[in-house]
């Protein structure tokens, strides 16, 4: 598995999740364990550029894949989060950022969302679109207004 551009390897039991492999075996602690059941999004990483929750995949399934965590992200949305107060405690932020990077790529590819009026159209990233597309990332501090503003700023 490549993690943030570097070839890595580990001998793991098949029951080890991708999240635990990253955090406990490879020392990559950016992805956070919130709910460990796919509901909070704090463990979001990019696999081959697509956002997934790393708690619900087994590490063995990602053998040979390219995994990017917050440690490997260099994207304008990071500074935009700081400028727009897109965080308070910061626990959900690595997942929010990875999710936002994946989401902007999905939107650039023309993918619709549940907020899209006609699914055959290429939607613009309105606030409603951003909120819907980021609904897999919870923020207990409630920094949602800042998060939406940060993403809107980068999306232009």
Partner 1 sequence: MKDFAYVAAPDVATAVRAAADAPGARFLAGGTNLVDLMRQHVERPDTVVDISRLPLTSVEETKSGGLRIGALMRNSDLAAHPLVRTRYPMLTQALLAGASAQLRNMATVGGNLLQRTRCPYFYDRATPCHKREPGTGCAAVGGFNRSHAILGTSASCVATHPSDMCVALAALDAVVEVEDVRGTRRIPLADLHRLPGDTPHLETTLAPDELITSVELPAPAAAPSRYRKVRDRASFAFALVSVAAALEVTDGTVAAVRLALGGVAPKPWRAVEAERVLTGAPATEESFRAAADAELAPAVTLDGNEFKVELARRTIVATLRDLAREGSRA
Q: Which residues bind partner 1 (CB under 8 A)?
A: 13-15, 17, 36-38, 41, 44, 50-53, 56-58, 60-61, 99, 102-103, 106, 109-114, 116, 118-120, 131-137
Transcribe the chain into DSSP letters: -EETTEE------TT-BHHHIIIIIS----S--SSSSSSS-TTEEEETTEEEEGGGSBGGGGTT-EEE-GGG---HHHHHHHHTT--SS-TTHHHHHHHHHHHHHHHHTT---TT-SSTTS-----HHHHHHHTTT---TT--HHHHHHHHHHHH-
Question: Whose Cβ is closer to partner 1: residue 44's or residue 69's?
Answer: 44
Q: How far is the CB of 24 from partner 1 (least distance, A)?
A: 14
Q: How far apart are the first and last CA of the chain?
A: 34
Q: How far is the CB of 136 from partner 1 (least distance, A)?
A: 3
Question: Whose Cβ is closer to partner 1: residue 25's or residue 131's?
Answer: 131
Question: Whose Cβ is closer to partner 1: residue 133's or residue 146's?
Answer: 133
Rg of the chain over Cα atoms, rounded to whole angstroms, equals 16
Question: Whose Cβ is closer to partner 1: residue 26's or residue 45's?
Answer: 45
Strands 66-68 and 2-3: parallel
Q: How far is the CB of 125 from partner 1 (least distance, A)?
A: 13
Question: Whose Cβ is closer to partner 1: residue 84's or residue 99's?
Answer: 99
Q: How far is the CB of 49 from partner 1 (least distance, A)?
A: 10
Q: How far is the CB of 13 from partner 1 (least distance, A)?
A: 7
């Amino acid at each position: 598995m490549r993690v943030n551009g570097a070839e890595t390897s580990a001998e793991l039991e098949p029951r080890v999740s991708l999240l635990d492999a990253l955090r406990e075996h490879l020392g990559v602690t950016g992805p956070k364990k919130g709910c460990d059941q796919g509901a909070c999004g704090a463990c979001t990483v990019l696999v081959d550029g697509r956002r997934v929750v790393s708690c619900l995949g087994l590490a063995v399934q990602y053998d040979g894949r390219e995994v990017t965590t917050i440690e490997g992200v260099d994207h304008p949305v990071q500074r935009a989060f700081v400028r727009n107060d897109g965080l308070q405690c910061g626990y959900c932020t690595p997942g929010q950022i990875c999710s936002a990077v994946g989401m902007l790529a999905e939107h650039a590819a023309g993918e619709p969302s549940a907020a899209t009026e006609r699914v055959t159209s290429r939607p613009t990233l309105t606030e409603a679109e951003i909120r819907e597309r980021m609904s897999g990332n919870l923020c207990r501090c409630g920094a949602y207004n800042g998060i939406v503003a940060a993403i809107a700023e980068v999306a232009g």
